[in-house]
Each structure stands twice: as C-alpha cells, then as structure tokens.
Chain A
C-alpha cells in the first residue's frame, strides 16, 4: 500500500475541487501523471502504488484526463529516453505492424487522446514498442469519442517514420501495467458513484423520510459497499503480488464486475435524476461502462485466467491463491 496515499488523495481532491479550467496542466505541473517513474528519467519518483492512488482519486471525481494513457506511455518511454514535457499516449495492438525501412502504414482505431497527444507508443506482441510522432505530416487524426465522451480517435499512418524503443518493456508487461492502472481507475469511478449515491439517498426525501430509510434502498446501498470491499481487496492483492501475472486478471475481473453492478444500482437509486445531463452521475457511470473492458474485456480476462487455472489444476490454483496476502 502506498505510504503517501493520504497525501496524494488530498492533493487530488483539492485540485478537483478548485475547478481550474486547465486541470491537466496543473496535474502535469505537479508531476502527478509521472508518479511511479524514476526521477533520473524525468519522472516524479514514488511507486506504482502511489500512481494507483492518483489515478483512483482522479477517477473518483469523474474527471476526464489522459492520466492512465500518459502515465503508462511515459513509463514505457522512460526505459528508452529521458522524458520531456510532451504528452504521449499508448495503444496496444494484437499483432505487430510491418515496419519495413523504418516507416509504417496503418489505420489505428480507438487511439486514446490522439488529437491532444504529440506522440504515440505502439505495443505489439513479439516486438519492441514503437514511437510515432503524431504531428508528422504523414499522420491524420479523425476525432472519435467513446460513450464517456473521451477521445478514442482514428489515426491513419502513411509511410510514417517510427522509432524502435529498444530496452522498453514488452507488450505483455505494458498490457499488465495498463490493465492494473485501469483497474484503479474503475475502482475510483465506482467509489465516486457510491459517494454520490449515498449522498443522494441520504438527502432526498420521499414518503416523508430520506430514501435511505427504505429497506430496499439501504439494502442496495449495502450491495454497492460489498462490491467496493471486493474491488479494494482485488487491487490490494494485485499491488502486493510479487509478479503481476494472474493478480492483474483478478483485479480486472473483479473491478469490471463491480463496475457493472455499481453503475446499475447507482442509477436505480437515483431514479430519473441520475439520467439527466445536468446531474453528475453519468460522468462516473459512462466512464465505468467504457473503462471496465479497456485493454481487454472482462470475459477475455476471465477466459485466460480460467484456462490457466485448468492447466495448473486444483493444486496449482490453491497454491497460487493462498500464497498471496501473507
């Protein structure tokens, strides 16, 4: 667990409450997206756990900033070069693009924040990550938003020059880190939805008393709490695990399932108020829906965890499960 958790949380809370127009700029000035990267490489120092706290706290406010993508891309980039002030984003590919003579031609979909980013880190299995200059004249970016209203653009590369990031982490390692950071983001948004819901049912009165007095309402709020307890435990497991393998799948599956149930209950308890543009619930639930399956769907994580469990057999599964959290 992060030693600076409380400090980081209150820092993020203060920023979120300040209502600054350029929140991302302020976050970058404070070096928050570069927590968990060594200072010698241009990072802010601290551990991955610290970064998870930052991501979770930001997500809890329903704030749309490219913190997951930028922190991961910078971390990859920091293995190959010293970081500068530019925004870099990241995309995982299923298979390596052809990079004959140092150029690449491809159409990339759902590239997060491409319209705002200066560079893109591309990670594919079996190859070193590639760095693309998104401001190169051969690059075109078409704006596409996901259901949370966040940029997931289409990027067309035509004989675009790429740099091979030798010494950077492999696709698999980047994928796991990205998945873990997304898990923290989902947990944060889920916690935000819980807080909002709890406040609403405590303050809104019907039938002469706060909604919370209705047993069905308080029971549903308890179900949200139970989901948060699970998601917390899954994140704790993943951040303490000696190797992320398996633990990340567990975190992903658990937070995704929690996101699904919490979004559903939060809307139910808010009644029609929760589906208005004006009320902030949708900033959290739309993100829960788009983030829960980021990197890979809950179903895919479950399938791969299950396949490995079947291969390991009961004894392998048991040893793995009981080895954690001692």
Chain B
C-alpha cells in the first residue's frame, strides 16, 4: 500500500471531477467526445471547474491557484479526458501559459495574467506555428520591433487552435536577427482584441472550425507583456514544451474509442484475438500513465523533463492511433456516421501526432540527446 502524501487527495479530486462531469453529461450540457481538450469548447464549464479550484491547480494561491502538485493536477486532467469533457477553453492557458508566466514573467505580468487564467476569464491561443516553419519553431519570422513603451508586431501565424474564441495570444516572435536562429526570439502576450489582429478560420477535414490563421499588422504590445528576457525566448519555449508534451492528453485523445473497445471485447467472449489486442493496448496505456506520472513528479521536483515528455508524446500518439485501428477489428467500425465515436476519432486522428511536434521531430529530439549522452 502506498501512503505517500497525495494519494488520498488524488482520490478525492478524481471523485470530485467524476461527480461534476456526470452531472453535466446527464443533464445534456455536454456530449463526451474524442479530442475534447482541443475540440470541445465551453467557457461555462471551464469557469465551473475554476470555481472549484480545478484550474490553475499548481499555481501559487496569491495568483488564484490552489498550490497543489503536478501529480494532483494529473489526476484531474486524466478524469476530465476520460469523461471527454469540454475543456478546450482553459486547457492551453492552464497547461502552459500560466506556468510560463509564473516562471519567467515580471511581477506585474503575473498579477495581470495569472489570476485571469485561474478564473477561466482569459482564454489563450498559441501563436507558435508559422506558414513556412512547421515544426521548426526556431525559424519563426514574425517580427517584434521596439517602439516607445513597447513593441510593434508584424507577422503571420497558422494552425492557431481556438484563436476565434481567445481573449489572449501567446506569441513567439523574432526581436533580433542573430547568427544562430535560436537566438533573438522572445515571448509575448497580446490581447486578441488589439487593433491589427485578424483571425481567419481554417475548416478541418471533419468540417469543424478549430484552427485559424492569425495576422498581425502593426499590433502594439506594451513592454511589460514580454515573458522573461528579450532575445532568450528559445530556452523558455523548450521548457514550455515539456508542459505541452508531457500531459495525459497525449495518450487519451481517442479514449472514447478505447471505452467501446473494452465493451466490445466483453461482448465477444470467444474472440481471443480481440482480447489479445485489447490486452496489449491496456499494457501500453498503463505504461503511458506511468510515464505521465513520472513527468508530473519531475515537474514537482522543479525539473523540465524535455526528453521524457518527448518520448511520452511520441508513444502516446502512437497509442491513440492504434486504439482507433483496433476498433477496425470489430464490426463497430461499420458506424462511420460523422458523430459516431469511431468516425469522430478517426477524423481527429491525423492531428494527434502533428500538434506539439511531429513524431519524426520528437524522435530527432530524442536522438540528439542520445548523441550527446
């Protein structure tokens, strides 16, 4: 038996989330779905979670947080994903922008931004990807020029999830041209209603609108909205990516399909092959869960486990795909309706291993570490 601190509180937190999601689901306030952390947007639900202290869980109390551990936060995020709950409104701010501002932001910036993430008021989108850059973040071209009292932003971001709902954008921009393209990058927070911000929808292959293009034309950002040190953004982004990559959402995007697979395996009592397939997926999920726990523990110890997070995301995305493929071993794959569990997950699946770094990029990141060690 494990009696380490956190075990009981994790169980309590899980129970709290289960109760809330069951209530919302049963009263028809949301329908569980695959990929809910990106696709299922409901500001009211996020605010409800925030009111219960289930957003900004690891942040200091003085900025509206709950001062809980990353391991406790993992318990909550896992239960939310398991329930396919509508969490997209707060996910990105909560997961990576709050922690980034807390680590590197000035006192003023922390006071301005963090409590609003914690209350569910501030909805963030990520201005990282650019049309010509893809997974190569260091080739960002969006420019920030110093002007009186702040910066003037000009550039073009793409694949910006939920930009059309966002109140704020995190933005990676070039503040100077250096010999090494990793130098001269800086991180900013800007208001989406600032003059010169233009959002254009990109409709995805499922006919849904989550992605956007965002153009910045002479957008003014006040000086205090820089996160950390001007020109040293790269190191900060890399840290931020371990928050982005190392979470349970990298294994559970297709969890609703996994649920159906378990139920089908229970119905097909004699299908030994299906049982074997399910068993190997269960083993993989258990291991992924363990890795999530290890990443969360490392964060609690003050580390940014970049490599581990990359391995987790690589493995997690493969699992998410294989769960969907496993359902094709059953007759359930015949239901290809747009809103079917299988159909929905399948249409969402090409994004799994792209966002947050393509699979090949993650491998090369791990490989670079191998070459150094």
Chain B 274-293 per-residue mask, 1 if CB under 8 angstroms from chain A, else 0: 11111111111111011101
- CB-based contact A306/B364 at 8 Å: no
Cross-chain contact of A237 among B2, B6, B290, B366 (Cβ < 8 A) = B290
Contacting pair A299 B370 (CB below 8 A):
no
Complex Cα spacing A222 to B315, Å:
12
A253 CB–B CB distance under 8 Å: yes
Cβ of A218 within 8 Å of any chain B Cβ, yes or no, is yes
Q: Give every chain B residue within 8 A of A302 (Cβ-Cβ).
A: 275-277, 279-280, 283
Listed by A's residue number, 6 A-B pairs whose Cβ atoms lie within 8 Å are A242-B1, A249-B283, A304-B279, A306-B280, A307-B275, A310-B278
Can you list, as one digit per residue, whether each of B352-373 has a CB less than 8 Å from chain A (1) or not (0)?
A: 0000000010011011101100
| B291 pairs with A218, CB closer than 8 A | no
CA distance A274 to B47 in the complex (A): 59
**Using Cβ atoms and an 8 Å threshold, which residues of chain B touch A240?**
2
Q: Are B283 and A325 in contact (CB under 8 A)?
A: no
Interface: A233 (CB within 8 A): yes
Contact residue among A212, A219, A250, A309 (Cβ-Cβ distance under 8 Å from B364) = A219
Interface digits, A231-249 against B, CB 8 Å rule (1 contact, 0 not)? 0011011001010000001
Determine how close the nearest CB of chain B comes to the CB of A261; give it in whole angstroms. 12
Q: Are A322 and B291 in contact (CB under 8 A)?
A: no
Q: Give chain A's interface residues, CB within 8 Å of chain B.
A: 198, 202, 212, 215, 218-219, 221-223, 225-226, 229-230, 233-234, 236-237, 240, 242, 249-250, 253-254, 257, 298-299, 301-307, 309-311, 313-314, 317-318, 320-322, 324-326
Give the shortest distance, in Å, between B264 (CB) and chain A (any CB). Answer: 8
B289 contacts A219, C-beta separation under 8 Å: no
Q: Is the CB of B279 within 8 A of A307?
A: yes
Using A229-B311, A257-B280 as known contacts, say yes or no to A250 and B363 having CB atoms under 8 A apart.
no
Inter-chain contact total with CB atoms closer than 8 Å: 143
Residue in B82, B277, B366 whose CB lies within 8 Å of A226: B366
Interface residue range, chain B: 35 or more
Task: Name the CB-closest residue of B to A251.
Answer: B283
CB distance from A80 to the nearest CB of B (A): 29
Contact A225 B275 (CB under 8 A): no
Tell me if B263 counts as interface (CB < 8 A to partner A). Answer: yes
Q: How far is the CB of B177 from chain A (nearest CB, A)?
A: 27
Q: Note all chain A residues with C-beta closer than 8 A to B283.
A: 234, 249-250, 253-254, 302, 305
Instruction: Give the shortest distance, in Å, between B35 (CB) and chain A (any CB).
Output: 18
List of A residues within 8 angstroms of B294 by Cβ: 233, 325
Q: What mask results when residues 1 to 44 of chain B are scored 1 for a CB within 8 Å of chain A, else 0?
A: 11010110010001000000000000000000000000000000
A253 lies within 8 A of B364 (CB) = no
Alpha-carbon gap, A16 to B286, bound state (A): 34
Instruction: Return the chain B residue nearest A306 by Cβ.
Output: B279
- For residue A218, give the distance in angstroms from its CB to the closest CB of chain B: 4
Chain A proximity of B371: nearest CB distance (Å): 6
The answer to whether B315 and A226 have CB atoms under 8 Å apart is yes
Minimum CB distance partner of A229 in chain B? B311
> What 8 A-B pairs come out closest when comparing CB atoms?
A306-B279, A302-B279, A305-B279, A306-B275, A306-B278, A218-B367, A310-B265, A222-B367
Please indicate the chain A residues that have their CB under 8 angstroms from the CB of B94 in the complex.
none
Q: State whether A233 and B291 are in contact (beta carbons under 8 Å apart), knowing that A226-B311, A242-B1, A314-B259 are contacts in the complex.
A: yes
Q: Most chain-B Cβ atoms within 10 A of its Cβ — which of A229, A317, A324?
A: A229
Q: How far is the CA of A207 from the CA of B214 in the complex (A)?
A: 44
* Chain A residues in 8 Å Cβ range of B262: 309-310, 313-314, 317
Contacts of B367 in A (CB 8 A): 215, 218-219, 221-222
Flag if B6 contacts A326 (CB, 8 Å).
Answer: yes
A106 to B232, CA, bound (A): 74
Contacts of B1 in A (CB 8 A): 242
Q: Is B266 an interface residue (CB 8 A)?
A: yes
Contacts of B218 in A (CB 8 A): none
Asked if A306 meets B277 with Cβ closer than 8 Å, knowing A219-B363, A237-B287, A313-B262, the reply is: yes
Partner of A225, one of B2, B4, B258, B311: B311
Cα A219 to Cα B308 with chains together (Å) = 16
Check A322 against B6 for contact (C-beta < 8 Å): no
